[in-house]
Amino acid sequence: MSNNVVILAGGQGKRMKVRSPKVLCRVLGEPMLEWVISACEDAELNDICVVKGFEGAQIDAYLESRDSKADIVTVLQEEQLGTGHAVMMAKDFLEKHADGNTLILCGDAPFIDRATIEGALALHESRGCGVTVVTSRAEDPTGYGRIVRNDEGIAGIVEHRDCTPAQLAITEINSGCYWFRTADLLEVLFDLQPNNAQQEYYLTDCVELIINKGRTADAYISENHNVSLGANDRRGLLMLNDIARMDIIEKWLDAGIEFTCIDGVIIGKDVTIGEGSRIDKGTELRGKTVIGQGCLIGSNCIIENTKIGDNVVLNNVQAYESVIEDGVKIGPYVQLRPGSHIKKGAKIGDFVEIKKSTIGEGTAVAHLTYIGDSDVGANVNFGCGVVTVNYDGDRKFRTVIEDNAFIGCNTNLVAPVKIGKGAYTAAGSTITKDVPPSALAIERGTATIKEGYAEKKLKNRTAKFENSRKDDQGH
């Protein structure tokens, strides 16, 4: 018996004012669809069918781009005729998995979680249910389907617009998440009729049809109060972002992480932070970033898919797909582009950019420097204004700087070039040839001085300035 998932992702989300599927709108930088798929993968549900609709090619492109544990297929819902109609589009997928259970999820309800999925499945299997609905309690249930209970479990679900006054008072609401015995779902799915205010095929009507077949139906009340939440417009999406942001910050507060101020702090759901670290205001931690113990992530950092060791200090740093080892100090105003590797004890100062390069242990890159496509050894010192000239307009080349080298201020290292161990480059040099170990390289050219040149230039500039002032006074 195999359990599987169908995710409903066909909505356009017109009120979002975007030309993309609603499920690709982002919460903390990740599409809502990604939150839902990740929850399935956490629950080890790896057979997934995504029902796409508006601009479905964008969903295909996103799914192809992600590093997926799951086996994900897509089917197209050309017309948006309701949730039941969307599930009908997955007929072939359901028939392939007819011996198991099917979890139906909404791709725009990002807060579904492993505990809820597994808890609902346990109830579903223990009671031998044909269908188990995931529900939650809401102080204001407006807009949500109401759960009508009886002594056997549930009698059905009534959509808000179809509720009687008594049913409107019910606070247990449908999350849009269901476990079905797949064979039972297939037995009733194509009996759905659009007999409702919207003239749509409601998946909720399958509950009543399954009950009428004499099967058991029940509801699992999730401890996750946000499990039902979705977004229909930008205000709703902002609310989801605020909820997710604070939930994650509170989780890290409980884990002992220090926050001096949470203004502008955004931490992704897959980020890891070690004990004793501090996060300052305006910082964004994205993707699968890992931060070690005892770190100080100072104000206005953006760290994405980067691994950071212990006791690292960052100040106004942007780092993408890089590695920063223990005891490194970086900033302010530093960018680490993808492929950068900063080794133990290195120091990177202000206005430095590093790209696809390794910086060795104890190396100092003080300020106003660009290091691209380079392999830098240990204990190297960079003066102000150094550039590794890695691109000739057609191809990129690497620079190698060995241990203990000293790169003087305003040196241009024109790749491919190698600076040997302990070698020096003189300030202002443009190095185009390899420098042997322990040597001093000077490449400045011959100075040419023209006496009186500046005096003539100054006289012309002064005359123009005086004429300009007279014209202004004339007006």
Q: Following CA atoms 247, 248, 250, 251 in sequence, which dihedral angle do they give, to the nearest 10 degrees?
A: 120
The answer on 202 and 267 residing in a single domain is: no
The answer on 318 and 189 residing in a single domain is: no
Q: Which of 203, 221, 239 is the last residue of a domain?
A: 221
Query: Of the listed 97, 225, 367, 475, which one is catalytic?
Result: 367
The answer on 384 and 283 residing in a single domain is: yes
Q: What percent of the chain has pLDDT over 90?
A: 81
Asked, for residue 127, whether it belongs to a domain, the answer is yes
Classify each residue of 30-40 as buried b or exposed e, where b means 16 or more C-beta atoms within 10 Å of its C-beta.
Answer: bbbbbbbbbbb
Give the contacts of 440 (CB within 8 A, at least 6 positions apart). 423, 424, 425, 426
The answer on 143 and 271 residing in a single domain is: no
In this predicted model, what pLDDT tens digit does every residue of 58-70 receive, in sequence order? 999 999 999 888 8
Asked, for residue 54, whether it belongs to a domain, the answer is yes
The answer on 259 and 217 residing in a single domain is: no
Cα-Cα end-to-end distance for the chain: 91
* Residue in 247, 249, 155, 255 with CA at minimum distance from that of residue 205: 155
Query: Higher confidence at residue 135 or residue 448?
Result: 135
Asked, for residue 242, whether it belongs to a domain, the answer is no
Asked, for residue 461, whether it belongs to a domain, the answer is no
Question: Residue 280's domain spans which residues?
Answer: 248-441
How many angstroms separate the Cα of 438 from the Cα of each of 4, 256, 309? 65, 49, 33
In this predicted model, what pLDDT tens digit does every residue of 331-342 receive, in sequence order? 999 999 999 999
Asked, for residue 230, whether it belongs to a domain, the answer is no
The answer on 162 and 16 residing in a single domain is: yes
Give the contacts of 442 (CB within 8 A, at least 6 positions apart). 425, 426, 429
Number of domains, the chain: 2
Query: Contact 279/295 with Cβ under 8 angstroms?
Result: no
The answer on 210 and 254 residing in a single domain is: no
- Residue 192's CB is within 10 A of a number of other CB atoms, namely 22
Asked, for residue 454, whether it belongs to a domain, the answer is no
Q: Which of 183, 202, 221 is the last residue of a domain?
A: 221
Query: Contact 281/265 with Cβ under 8 angstroms?
Result: yes
d(CA 427, CA 410): 6
The two structure tokens encoding residue 376: 């830098």
The answer on 354 and 313 residing in a single domain is: yes
The answer on 252 and 332 residing in a single domain is: yes
Tokens 């300020």: give the residue: 367
Give the contacts of 268 (CB within 8 A, at least 6 positions apart). 28, 29, 30, 248, 285, 286, 287, 288, 289
Q: Which of 205, 221, 237 is the last residue of a domain?
A: 221
Identify the H or E element spanning 34. helix 32-42
The answer on 280 and 146 residing in a single domain is: no
The answer on 134 and 61 residing in a single domain is: yes
* Residue in 317, 345, 311, 339 with CA at minimum distance from that of residue 330: 317
Asked, for residue 457, whether it belongs to a domain, the answer is no
In this predicted model, what pLDDT tens digit does every residue of 11-53 receive, in sequence order? 888 888 888 999 999 999 999 999 999 999 999 999 999 999 9
Give the contacts of 388 (CB within 8 A, at least 6 positions apart). 357, 370, 371, 372, 373, 374, 399, 413, 415
Asked, for residue 471, whether it belongs to a domain, the answer is no
For residue 419, what pLDDT band results from cuts at 50, 70 and 90?
very high
* Residue in 346, 417, 408 with CA at minimum distance from that of residue 334: 346
CATH code of 337's domain: 2.160.10.10
CATH code of 164's domain: 3.90.550.10
Q: What is the mean pLDDT of the chain?
A: 94
State yes or no: is 341 an active-site residue: no
d(CA 364, CA 354): 13
Query: Higher confidence at residue 211 or residue 463?
Result: 211
In this predicted model, what pLDDT tens digit does every residue of 278-315 receive, in sequence order? 999 999 999 999 999 999 999 999 999 999 999 999 99
The two structure tokens encoding residue 153: 């479990």
Q: Is the dihedral of CA 105, 106, 107, 109 positive or negative?
A: negative
In this predicted structure, what is the pLDDT of residue 298?
A: 96
For residue 474, what pLDDT band results from cuts at 50, 70 and 90?
low
The answer on 196 and 264 residing in a single domain is: no
